[in-house]
A and B are shown apart, each in its own frame.
Chain A
């Protein structure tokens, strides 16, 4: 009886999931006792108050609600009520735009910093100060100066996605082996050609690692930004359901945020594998 490692791991994963769901189900089964009250009064009260139902939904409630959302993810009932799919699409679009802008700025700038020790030292203090600022700390400033909440959210994605890419690009470029550059130099390769044919491929795995960290951060930030700005997006969805004290929907949103974050990360991981070369 020998199974492959992969099979055994999958089995264990399923076991852990089943145990988790089981404990969750038992814990939220409704421990309180039903309160005694007149039927007219009970009609005005919620299940938590009348039937002693737990305020926390069980896995079956969440599952049923999730199915309801997944069956119709793209409905649109006006500006404040859209399907889960549309909300996720808005968030992904915002992250995509902010992230692309960050790529456009971070990679050339990272190249510059990596290739020029002078620039590296001159820009270092700014990067060090700006890097640790929490993205949400930018939000009020962005709202006040940009005067557009949609653009502000994109700006916040941009500003937080830029640093890991910038630092990793600079590091990757600076760490390209001197021999390779010297070989290029003896072959009298021009500056631009050297950058594209020697340095870029050599630094690419490090650059993509930076991009992978960045997309993770961007996806973390969008939820908080949309909760603040409101309107559309998965963050707004969480806020709206929190407003309704619907923990079931909040849990579904958390699950969705996790799944989409994982997919985004896996896409970039795949890209990293494509550009990695054995030495």
Chain B
């Protein structure tokens, strides 16, 4: 019967997914996608091709709000997923509850990369405001990566000064005053530090810091993980409106769930991301120094509050950023 045949043939139709992601995740997903595609095809007999799109996550969120047909988002900032719900109702309100660990399959933290032999002896956040230290990180206004750096420094200063907001702001102001140039994204800051030889320390995600050290092995950079830093989540979600229209919900969901499997977590850890799967955590223990991580929610309240108080136009970031 032709009708039954058509139905049988349906799963074999190739399907295409678009993953909208952040700037420095290009290599990571290039490694994950073929593994997932092979697994999906083995299980369902369906070919899946995953396209990647990378930029700052705020730019990606804006593109999706304006019609980019991304099936899934893999961002580095909760607020950038949330805005897809708030502004366009593209993502369900409960998106953070649909997958484990607040829909964040891996995490990282702001860490430091210093030059060979650590000539300035940089060990902790307090070293970054010394007058002889030049710090490189991107513009927090255009980079989610740098917003974590800002929050981590702020949280460190709050803790050190017994919760004194004024002193914490002063600390971040001094930190910003030590930054000679603000690139618009993480990769730009890396270029400034590595190729242009500017600055004594680069602050970016631990995963990126290690990636750079591996990439530029000949230059002998050293990774410094400060004793305390901020938990940086990497939230993921299917874009409900898009997958429902394209009929790709099943494969898109499976794609995100794959990130939580041992196989997925293993690839993530291979790119120096910290993961949750116990077996993988044990295997890569030596790769990740002990660090006490504070959570955004515990120090600053929820992300909506952080957004309003710190990052909105005229917020605390603007005050310390422009009064450097």
Asked whether A and B interact, the reply is no
A interface residue numbers (CB < 8 A to B): none
B interface residue numbers (CB < 8 A to A): none
